[in-house]
Each structure stands twice: as C-alpha cells, then as structure tokens.
Amino acid sequence: MRPLEGITVLDFTQAYSGPYCAMNLADYGARVIKVERVDGGDQSRFWHPYAPNGNSGYFAIYNRNKEGIAVDLSAPEGKEVIKKLYSQVDVVLENFKYGTLDKLGVGYEEMKKVNPEIIFASITGFGQTGPLRTNTAYDNVIECMCGFMEMTGFPEDMPLRSGASVGDSYTGLTMALAIVLACYDKRRTGKGRRLDVAMLDTMFATIEDAVLAYALTGKQISRTGNAKPKEIVPYDAYSCADGFFATGINDETMWPDFCKAIGMPELEDDPRYATNDLRCENFESFTELMKSVLSEKTQDEIFESFARFDIPAAPTLDPLDAMDHPQIVERDMAIEFDDANVGPLKTFGIPVKFSRTPGRIKKSSPKLGENTVEVLTEAGFSRKEIEKLAEAGVIGVQEE
C-alpha cells in the first residue's frame, strides 16, 4: 500500500503547475480523477512536442497515473455531475483563473454544502487575495515579477528565465505538500479547508540571496552569472578543454584541498586568495587564474581530481547526457513506459525513494473521457443516465 492510497482527488487542473501537483499525488498512491473539457480536454493536449501519432508528449508525462473524465461544466447537468462527485472525494484541485469555478457554481462555497470536510486546493498566478488576483500568469511572467529573472543571467546581458519552468514545478510541489499536510490534519480534526497557493508567492520565497542581502546590509544585488562573487569564491562554472564544469566550496576548511585539486597547493597561502573575503575582493583576478589553470584539463580529469579531494564538482551535461548518466539510471530517474496517448515514452522517474511502500507508475496518461463511464457508475449514475448525458454532450466518453 502506497502512502496516499485511500485519498481521492478530483483534478480540474490543466497546463503544468496543477497537473504536476496532481501527478506527484498520484505517483504516491492517491486516486486522481482528472476532469477535462468535452471539446478537446486539457490545453496541454495541444502542446509540443508531438509524438508521431500527433498526440502531445507534454500532456503524457504530467498526467500519468490519473483516471480521466470529460464533463461540460457550463451545462446545468454537468454541474450536477460535479456536485455528486464532490460528495465522494477528499480533495478538489484546480488551477483555473481566479473565481472561475465560483462563476460556474461549483466553487468552494457551494462545495462545502455538499461536503463540509472537503479540502479545496487552488493554484493561481497571484493568489485568492490582492490587487492582481484576477490576472492571468504563466511561468515566465511570474519569474519576471518575483525577481527571479532579474537574478538570473550575466550582469552585462538581459535577465533570463530559468531553462526549465521552475515556477510551475515548484508551485506544484508546494501545493502537493499543502494537500498532504491538510489531509494529515483532517485525520486528526475531521475538518477540511481552503488551500491557496500562488506562483508569485512560491517563487518569491526562492529569492534568498537578494532578500537576505538587502535585509542585512541595505544593499541591492543583481544577477552574477554562475558565480557568487560577493559571497563565496570559488563558486562558479569554468571552461575546460572539452566543455564546462561547476564547482564551489562553502567552508574555509575546503580551501587547501581545492588548491591541491587544481594542482596548485602553493595557492593556499597566497595573500590575494588565502581567505574567502580576499577571494571575493579579488574575484576578477581569481577567475582569470582559474581559466588559465583549467583550460588544458578535460572534464574527466577535473572530476577525478576534485572527487579525490572531496571537492564538489560536476561537468555540465545536456539533458540527454544526464538521462544516460549512470547515477540517474541507477536511481530509476530515467524510465520508459508505454503511454496510451503517445506510445513508448522515455521520461523522468519518481524522485522520493521510500524503503517500503514506494511510489510507482502504474498507468499512463488518460485518453479523453477514458474513465467517464466507470467514475459516474461508481458515483451512482445508471447506465441510462450516463447514455443520456453522453448523447446531450454533457459528458465525453472515450471512443472505441
């Protein structure tokens, strides 16, 4: 039995942050019933990259382990279907624009009448309160507004968004944690609640350097590339004979071994670099020295030498190289399975390793309306009622 078995989630989410949250819950055993539009489903079904059959790989990887139903929420009969499902689930998860479910008549206040103990979880760009609560947002908008983008990149260039959509994934994980906490507390108290997680809030909470620097010194800091020239030196990415690698030390006791690792033990007592404060003061000359010392060494040579002296270091790998790396492979983080929508698929595994009751992938992403009949039957609808709803276009069922 996996950790979240026995918890049922009605999942209204689409795009990335919400589906990623629900996927994590499903990976660890929650029953996740994904609700999609009858006409086309989740918007990410139309996001690149596409498999040869024309279906979205994006949708496939973030909707694994879920059941799928299709319901027209604008139809009165569709609202009644949802209200009936509300009485039978533990959690409702949504990432619609602020107030959307309320306008449809199936929001939290209505839901409490049906199921007072429900946990209603809302992911939005800006939250349920504040002057921007009705604004729409995607990851790049949030990264820009919270300061993350200003902190990313090199000082002489324009700010950069993260290479991966960390605003979406971090917000999804934050909400997954919130849901687990709420479920745990509900077991003790029997009470449900509203959960409000905003992308802006979660991403602002990651800007530790800038906030700390201003709070303690009154000074504003901006992007510094791969380095932390005012805080820790060395802590940077350097070029070498066959690419780049990253390294850093965060304790002065590591400095002598760093010097040995680069083949310059005499550098330990150099008056320009003997302490971290001195290395910060002389950051430019230190960086130039590292370039000259490391430019003739290969990534393998550097990695072997740094590992011997227990200095953190790694070559910069592209995602495909990372996927094939023995460490990733050994920990089942690059996996293959056959997805119902796109066919054979190689993707990421499950990061949290339990010594028992581990998470697992038991089901691929759902076809549109794949489980509508099954879920509505469980909810008490008769076969005739289901057929009538399908004929009226209120629900969608998977075509044979």
Ranges assigned E (strand) in 8-58: 8-11, 31-36
339 classed as catalytic: no
CA dist 243 and 163 (Å) reads 19
Are 141 and 126 contacting, i.e. CB atoms less than 8 angstroms apart? no
Sheet with 91-94, edge to edge strand ranges: 193-198, 119-124, 91-94, 8-11, 31-36, 66-71, 395-396
Give the bridge partners for 283, in sequence order: none
Asked if residues 294 and 240 have their Cβ atoms less than 8 Å apart, the reply is: yes
Here the tokens at position 129 are: 């309160």
Q: Are 293 and 263 in contact (CB under 8 A)?
A: yes
Among 11, 72, 139, 168, the one annotated catalytic: 168
Q: How many CA atoms lie within 13 A of 141 on its CB side?
A: 10
Cβ neighbors of 168 (< 8 A, separation 6 or more) are 15, 16, 17, 20, 139, 199
The residue whose two tokens read 């009448």 is: 113
Q: Which residues are catalytic?
A: 168
